[in-house]
Amino acid sequence: MTEILEITKPLKIGYKRTCNCPDNHISCVNAKEWVKGMVTIQAFYYEGRDIRDKDTHPAVFPIALPAHFIKLLTHEGELVLDPFVGIGTTLVAAQDLNRNAVGFDLNEEYIKIAKKRLAQSRLVPGTQQIAIVDDAHNIPEYLEKNTVSLCITSPPYANMLNRPRLNKSIRGDLRNNDQYLKVQQYSNDPRDLGTMNHKQYAEALEEIYSAILPLMKPRAHCIININDVWWKNKRHLTHTYVIEALQKAGFEFRNTFIWDKRDLVNRVGIFGWPNNFISLGATMEYILDFWRPP
């Protein structure tokens, strides 16, 4: 039977560790796992439970990505927040790892899918994972101050989806696939960060993260998966807008990780050759790590 969760403001959700780790440990991992996690270039692969159908959601990260950072940066029983949760991948990872978690998305359809995924794989009782339809600006209505141990997300990459998909990174003869020229934005809602130009986007991120900062425990980490965009032969440095917005919101930048996607990209096309040198952006993404300063 699926558990019906009551959404109250604030939410009744656990945030304290339930493990017996020493007080000064940031997470439950041992030294060997810690050393592996410190490596700045990491590959994350999709597994059977991941959803890669672009018609269901155009930009889903693998469960392995949030799982990696949840393991490294939280204890069992602690609270994880994803302000742009999409179809709930972070919540599935939190459920696997016995962490409480809350995720927000503007799109009701995505939240329905997130709930379905959670109902399918409830393995460990004792923690709650809650998916809520709401604007990320409203997160402070749901969470108490100093309770979040990790905020992790992949926000929209500004308005990069608001244009027909040209499949430029795919080999010429394969470009005309079922996604070609489709516009797959998340919504037309003006509050959706995916509809905003870079300036509006940076302002919205700053507002949202300024309100999240006091909800986090001091020294709690905040991870953002993001990439830059090529558009009309110009490079848009989305990751720098994110860094600037988070710093203005009061977060301190700590680490850069690179998601190595080389094994996830195949049938690549040649663009720019022979005179316009353009890197194959689809082979990596940034994972930026901040914290709430002590």
Ligand X SMILES: C[S@@+](CC[C@H](N)C(=O)[O-])C[C@H]1O[C@@H](n2cnc3c(N)ncnc32)[C@H](O)[C@@H]1O
Task: Output DSSP code: residue 5.
Answer: P
Q: Cβ 63 to ligand X, closest distance in Å?
A: 8
The amino acid that residue 55 corresponds to is D
Q: Cβ 161 to ligand X, closest distance in Å?
A: 9
Residue 178 Cα to chain centre, angstroms: 26
6 Cβ neighbours under 8 A, 6+ residues apart: 12
Q: What is the dihedral of CA 131, 288, 42, 68, to 10 degrees?
A: -40
Q: Between residues 162 and 167, which has the closer beta carbon with respect to ligand X?
A: 162
Q: Between residues 17 and 115, which has the closer beta carbon with respect to ligand X?
A: 115
User: In 3D, which of 259, 238, 236 has the Cα closest to residue 157?
Assistant: 238
- Shortest-Cβ-distance residue relative to ligand X: 86
Q: Say how far apart CA 158 and CA 240 lie, in whole Å.
A: 12
- The answer to whether 58 and 192 are in contact (CB under 8 A) is no
Q: Between residues 18 and 200, which has the closer beta carbon with respect to ligand X?
A: 200
Q: Say how far apart CA 283 and CA 263 lie, in whole Å.
A: 8
List residues binding ligand X (CB under 6 A). 57, 59-61, 84, 86-87, 89, 104-107, 110, 135-136, 154-156, 186-187, 191-194
CB neighbour class for 70 (10 Å; exposed up to 12, middle 13-18, buried from 19):
buried
Q: Between residues 107 and 149, which has the closer beta carbon with respect to ligand X?
A: 107
Q: Say how far apart CA 141 and CA 211 lie, in whole Å.
A: 10
Q: Cβ 241 to ligand X, closest distance in Å?
A: 15
User: In 3D, which of 88, 54, 90 has the Cα closest to residue 69?
Assistant: 90
The amino acid that residue 89 corresponds to is T
Q: Cβ 84 to ligand X, closest distance in Å?
A: 3
Q: Cβ 64 to ligand X, closest distance in Å?
A: 11
User: In 3D, which of 241, 235, 251, 236 has the Cα closest to residue 293?
Assistant: 251
Q: Cβ 82 to ligand X, closest distance in Å?
A: 7
Q: Cβ 40 to ligand X, closest distance in Å?
A: 21
Q: Between residues 134 and 260, which has the closer beta carbon with respect to ligand X?
A: 134
Q: Between residues 136 and 222, which has the closer beta carbon with respect to ligand X?
A: 136
Q: Say how far apart CA 220 and CA 215 lie, in whole Å.
A: 10
Q: Between residues 175 and 191, which has the closer beta carbon with respect to ligand X?
A: 191
